Chain A
């Protein structure tokens, strides 16, 4: 189930089994200093149910890689296939709808909409996609918030809750349209270690529920929980082996932390 990024010919034929597949992906940016390559011919394939982390130093190209997969940024060359869709060929609006349905995106700075409350933040993706009835959306958003341990805060605004809680809401929002894949860029980058752990527990739990996870981080703790670690340096994948951690081991942990959080609210 793992493919070496070095053997590109192999990956072309292996697309049936892969959920995410990158082929000879290249991207460079024009900066005042000149042309800076961010990705140099990356090949990668991720199977359903994987918990993959992408690691590397600042500027190594890991954010660019993730942006390509979620269709936020476009490659100069190469192909991106996600769940059988040629992402690199979609128009901006097709991308928006496709992303809304198939990918949950979690950002480093949570990126909740500040003016509306938590339920509405979670309802937003459902509204944009026109999924569910208005009543169902609300119920579903409430359930998701309950699920991430914020059932008691539904009518607060993002600024009224802590960073860790905001990230939970962001995860709930990412789950709104029930996408098969969750992608997160430094989801714990702005959190203290205890809160980071809670968030990671949540990710691990989601993985056990069948979500495919792709997390960009330079946090070693995150990598420790992943089923696979992909390391990137200077725009190239230097290792994409697996770590055989047992994701299931943390699920009880998660339940404990969720109930603890809830306990705090009551």
Chain B
């Protein structure tokens, strides 16, 4: 009731101009909410996902060792450098889902699940350790395959024998990649159950936690090498490979690096968004000040000092910002909860609680309250400094606006366009700071939008690149290997199959000059004239007949041995023996990890597995790929024939399935990026709507004049819409100009976190086209409401506007 008149004016100005106030509030709210959503997601993921993961005591290193007894683990654990070591048995098997489709199954057996301390899982349902003929299922697979406690569970061993186990429990294991990503079911059984299913009771993996928790990957590998050299190999066991678990640091969550990268990109985008929305708010505030110039003059003439005026308008900004923040806080929290729900499901972790941490709140409050104030300071001070005379005496068109400068005079020279259109076009340039802010927003939104498209194109390109290396209709792996000729003959007995190639593979390491060894490297032995690979050579040449000791490496390997060039030699260790190989070519990266390609005979000679192959790749039509359904059929026939021939029980993989899985993983990423680009576009659209609304408001009188000289509804609307579209198109030109570098930056960020590699950038012209359409739509939509307002103005209102 007895509100202070100044405060009352502020509140009234907000209330009386609801559309404008709401525009400011929501523009600000979207930006601040986006920041809250992303930063809070980061906080909660760190707390929940990384926190929960750390609590599972994750392994630093896994050693793949020839069959060994549990005692070996105790010996390794006794080492000074090792904090903990545990033996684990991993067996590949299969199971069947409700529809009878075969699924990959990985069975893990620990000496004692109750005592197991490394890579701990949490039992969510059930009693505890698996009993004899019992199995624990990882929950991500259990949920997706609709498996419940007490259900029977079919296990098909590689020898084709089937066993029915009972589900003793549902567990949550964060240390493995979940079923949602790998499509491999994770099961935990007692060693006695494995024995019951005909397996020998030995272990084949050793998990290590090093004593010095701050070791990097190299240090951890060194500890592994010490264990191997001092304990394992002297004991008569053979270490096939060592794998550091966790990136960037050992013991980190398996997707930590990727998630950190994606979150960083999102954080940058959201901050960009909030800065843009603040810019747009300043646009509106400047316009309000311009509009209230006379009122400011009156207040000054009844005794207000400049400071009092500045305080009033800053209070106005603060009030709007507070309302914006009020909207932004729950919106941001809801967004974060949504993102967390998606992430938790996809990455298989638990959300402990959804809350708003103090620092995220402070960040939002700081950006949402302080930044608009700081940004509005300039226009507010400028307005409060206006002399009373200038503030009060404004009359006629164009007065009160700064003298038109060089730009307008240049534009006035363009004579080819009819006045109604050039009126729109020149109006575009009238308020340069407003145009600047609006353009900046739309330009950045557009560049980001196009960058997402380019990232998509780049990822597609990497996947296509992968396609060159999986140029088959279907392939099937043969665990343990089989005779090359038998395998190829059996495959060719399938009527559709015209090409069948048996490939050999082996694991090894690179030995550096200083004697250190690298991570696991895959050696691939393939026919010299293979038809199921279409390598793209980056350097050098492909394998030739008579290439003795000559190999081709892929770009991923170059990441491990940076200075490797064609013609260089590389020392490797394979099958326990050191060899020096000459690099004759480098092929493109294809998401396979580091690989060395060599002639089949050369490799089998090295591994001593002559005439043995580990997989077979088939093609129905040489030089062409079959349809997905046909590929799937070929795959099924392959499974059947190999099963009958007792060659392999693996499930086949078709080219199409591999692509599909890849695309699925990236789609989530792209959708999130597109969402953020969409938020930016929304901010841009709101900005343009606001700017157009302000333009109309300020040019009420001009619109009246247009009416007076005979402009119809259509003409007035056209003047407004053409102007809005012109701004949109202009922003498109600017975003097109920066879309290449921005797209490259984002693509590299996304791909490098996802593939750990610098991609071959692919610019998306489709993005350019799509954004053109979107931005025109934004331009038209953003000017429709202002145009409607403009049309509504009658000449009388306009000319008697005082």
Contacts and interface: CB of A to CB of B under 8 A. Distances in A.
Interface of A: 67, 70-73, 92-93, 95-97, 99-101, 105, 107, 109, 111, 113-117, 119-121, 123-125, 127-129, 134-135, 138, 173-174, 176-177
Interface of B: 2-6, 8-9, 12-13, 16, 294-295, 298-308, 385, 387-389, 392, 802
A119 B1 CA distance: 11
Nearest to B303: A100
Given A96-B300, A115-B16, A127-B4, A73 B389 contact: yes
A111 B303 contact: no
Contacts of B306: 92-93, 96
B303 A99 contact: yes
B295 A125 contact: no
B16 A72 contact: no
A213 B295 CA distance: 24
Contacts of A115: 9, 12-13, 16
A97 B303 contact: yes
What does DSSP make chain A's interface, helix, strand, loop or mixed? helix
A125 B305 CA distance: 11
A71 B9 CA distance: 25
A96 B305 CA distance: 6
Given A93-B307, A100-B304, A109 B9 contact: no
Contact of B9 (A100, A119, A120): A120
Contacts of A71: 388
A174 B301 CA distance: 10
B16 A96 contact: no
Max count, chain B CB within 10 A of own CB: residue among A72, A73, A134, A135: A72
Contact of B303 (A109, A113, A125, A134): A125
B584 to A, nearest CB: 80
B8, B12, B302, most chain A CB atoms within 10 A: B302
B298 A128 contact: no
A117 B299 CA distance: 15
A127 B298 CA distance: 14
Nearest to A109: B802
Contacts of A73: 387, 389
Nearest to A190: B802
Contact of B301 (A70, A93, A116, A129): A70
Given A113-B295, A123-B5, A127-B6, A176 B389 contact: no
A134 B306 CA distance: 21
A173 B302 contact: yes
A124 B295 CA distance: 12
Contacts of B388: 71-72, 92, 95-96
A186 to B, nearest CB: 13
A128 B305 contact: yes
Contacts of B802: 109
A138 B2 contact: yes
Contacts of A67: 389
A119 B4 CA distance: 11
A39 to B, nearest CB: 14
Nearest to A157: B12
Given A72-B392, A113-B9, A134 B2 contact: yes
Contacts of A138: 2
A128 B299 contact: yes
Contact of A120 (B8, B305, B307): B8
Given A93-B307, A109-B802, A128-B302, 4 more contacts: A105-B302, A120-B9, A124-B302, A135-B2
Contacts of A111: 294, 298, 392
14 contacts: A70-B301, A72-B387, A96-B300, A96-B301, A96-B305, A96-B388, A107-B298, A111-B392, A116-B5, A123-B5, A128-B299, A134-B4, A135-B2, A173-B302
A127 B3 CA distance: 12
A138 B2 CA distance: 8
Interface centre among A114, A121, A124, A174 (most CB of B within 10 A): A124
A251 to B, nearest CB: 27
A111 B393 CA distance: 12
B13 A97 contact: no
Contacts of A92: 306, 385, 387-388
A72 B302 contact: no
Nearest to A122: B5
B2 A96 contact: no
In the A-B complex, the 5 residue pairs with the closest CB atoms: A100-B303, A120-B5, A115-B12, A125-B302, A128-B304
A93 B307 CA distance: 9
A238 B528 CA distance: 113
A93 B389 CA distance: 14
Contacts of A117: 8
B8 to A, nearest CB: 5
Contacts of B298: 107, 111, 113
Nearest to B389: A73
A124 B5 contact: yes
Contact of A93 (B2, B4, B305): B305
B537 to A, nearest CB: 72
B464 to A, nearest CB: 62
B5 A121 contact: yes
By CB atoms of chain B within 10 A, which of A111, A134, A135, A138 has the most? A111
A129 B303 CA distance: 6
Nearest to A124: B5
A67 B295 CA distance: 17
Contacts of B3: 120
A128 B308 contact: yes
A237 to B, nearest CB: 21
A101 B305 CA distance: 12
A127 B307 contact: no
A155 to B, nearest CB: 10
Nearest to A185: B392
B304 A116 contact: no
A71 B388 CA distance: 9
A214 to B, nearest CB: 15
A116 B302 contact: no
A95 B8 CA distance: 25
B5 A99 contact: no
Contacts of B5: 116, 119-121, 123-124, 127
Contacts of B387: 72-73, 92
A171 to B, nearest CB: 12
A72 B389 contact: yes
A176 B5 CA distance: 13
B751 to A, nearest CB: 54
A109 B801 CA distance: 11
A100 B302 contact: yes
Given A67-B389, A72-B389, A124 B301 contact: no
A16 to B, nearest CB: 27
Nearest to B295: A113
A6 to B, nearest CB: 28
A128 B312 CA distance: 11
B194 to A, nearest CB: 81
Nearest to A108: B802
A100 B304 CA distance: 7
Nearest to B312: A128
A15 B22 CA distance: 56
A14 to B, nearest CB: 29
Max chain A CB contacts within 10 Å: which of B4, B305, B307? Answer: B305
